[in-house]
Amino acid sequence: MDIQQIRFTIFLGVFLLMLALESVIQRHPTVDSKTNRLKINLALTGIDILVVRLVFGAAAVGAAQFAQENGWGLFNYLDWWSGLEIIAVIIILDLMIYIQHVVVHMIPFFWQFHVVHHSDLDLDVSSGLRFHPVEIFGSMLFKIGLVFALGPSPLAVVIFEAVLNGMAQFSHSNITLPEKLDRVLRYILVTPDMHRIHHSIEKNETNSNFGFNLSIWDRLLGTYIHDAKKEQPKIIIGVDQFRTSEEVTLKNLLLMPFKTVPKNYSLFPEKD
Ligand SMILES: [Zn+2]
Ligand SMILES: [Zn+2]
């Protein structure tokens, strides 16, 4: 198996596991058709993968190989033990992705694209994959820039992407964890209950809990909310501009950033 096949196998394994768990230990009642949402979110993922492949080819891993061959970036100067380098790369990239997430909420132009992710009326494992292709394109540009600056080994990038992918599926999943386990995990990791608050319709809750893998950035930088105003199963998911399935079809999601300009969730909304 090559690296791509290993990544796909991990992705599929986590996806099916979460899907199975969602049917047994569902946490939040649903308002939209699960089959329909799965189709839309997976179709969007397919488009995203195509865009990344066509535009970037080997993407972040390719950039890491290129940086290594040319001696670019911090870690190509440091002679660290590879295990330590992988841990450091995961921590640094996770902080950078946290910052990127705050920025896409802050700047109305970016929020126009990120709102596609927040327009899901329910949350489940497939929501972790729901991003507008333009946002994926921008994230990939940012990640490639980071890889050139950091010069991590290609293996470290593969591991980071696999961890990020697996964690995104876990944190978006609609599963019930025992309260104690949730609390303990949350000291370090983003749990489904923590991320669900980020998808709440309440503006101050949407603009909190930005973390993807580690919960420490929210805790350290003051964007952490432990409990939403409503109890977990009663949290209303989504944004107030899009409340029906008809508004969030695949076609509408692709056109959303160009048609509607939902400003009022942005941390610094433009004045109308
Ligand atoms: Zn967000
Ligand atoms: Zn999310």
pLDDT in tens, 175-186: 999 999 999 999
* pLDDT tens by residue, 222-249: 999 999 999 999 999 999 999 999 999 9
Distance 69 CA to ligand 2 centre (A): 35
Distance 88 CA to ligand 2 centre (A): 24
CA-wise closest residue to 197 among 173, 171, 225, 174: 225
Phi, psi of 71 (to 5 degrees): 65, 30
Distance 100 CA to ligand 1 centre (A): 10
pTM, 2 dp: 0.92
Distance 6 CA to ligand 2 centre (A): 24
Distance 238 CA to ligand 2 centre (A): 10
* pLDDT tens by residue, 106-115: 998 999 999 9
Distance CA 205, CA 183 (A): 18
Identity of the amino acid at 122: D
Distance 73 CA to ligand 2 centre (A): 30
Ligand found nearest the CA of 126: 2
Distance 207 CA to ligand 1 centre (A): 7
Q: Say if CB 61 and CB 2 are below 8 A apart.
A: no
Domain ranges of the chain: 3-259
Distance 164 CA to ligand 1 centre (A): 15
Identity of the amino acid at 234: K
- Reading the block at residue 80, the tokens are 């660290």
Distance 199 CA to ligand 2 centre (A): 6
Distance 166 CA to ligand 2 centre (A): 13
State the pLDDT at residue 62: 85
Q: Which residues contact 79 (CB under 8 A, 6 or more apart)?
A: none
Q: Say if CB 218 and CB 210 are below 8 A apart.
A: yes
* pLDDT tens by residue, 34-54: 999 999 999 999 999 998 888
At 236 the three-state DSSP class reads coil
* pLDDT tens by residue, 148-202: 999 998 888 888 888 989 999 999 999 999 999 999 999 999 999 999 999 999 9
User: E strands, the chain, where?
Assistant: none
